[in-house]
Amino acid sequence: MRFSMENSKPSPTPMEVNLKLSESMCPQDETELTYMVDKPYRFVVASITYLMISTRPDLAYTQQLSQFLTNPGPTHWEAAKRALRYIGGTIDYGLVLGGEHNVFTTPLHAFADSDYVDTRRCVFVTFYCNLRSRRHYAA
């Protein structure tokens, strides 16, 4: 694997259930900054995003990691590694579409989520999909 986590223990979920990522978890001192210097955090988050958009909608919740691309802390890095362990344990998962479906009679599904995190900036994401295509809008 690209991130040298082939032998890591698989995780049952992509993110910890009660983990609330925030800016307060960003590096606060020189030790944490030094620890994060050589971590491929942006590359990991980009790879997870690519998987989520193409074939793995179960990874959508991990996209909150992208809020901390400019200054990720050790907690953010551990959350990203957990997502990689989940992917490693579910590598055989995927979308299987079959049968005779008429795209015009297939319902459109919409999902939305918003959060203020610990700043005054609102983060809102919507996701629309049917059996043939998906659209992603963020504001």
Spatial separation of the C-alpha atoms in residues 81 and 39, rounded to whole Å: 11
Tens digits of residue pLDDT in 77-102: 999 999 999 998 988 876 666 656 55
Q: Are 76 and 82 within 8 A, CB to CB?
A: no
**What's the confidence (pLDDT) of residue 139?**
44
Spatial separation of the C-alpha atoms in residues 87 and 129, rounded to whole Å: 22
**What's the confidence (pLDDT) of residue 68?**
93
H or E stretch including 54?
Answer: helix 41-54
| Structural domain boundaries in the chain | 1-96, 99-139
Q: pLDDT at residue 34 above 60?
A: yes
Tens digits of residue pLDDT in 11-30: 999 999 888 999 999 998 99
Q: Which of 101, 97, 138 is nearest to 121 (CA)?
A: 138
Phi and psi based region of residue 64 (left: phi greater than 0; alpha: psi -120 to 50; beta: remaining):
alpha
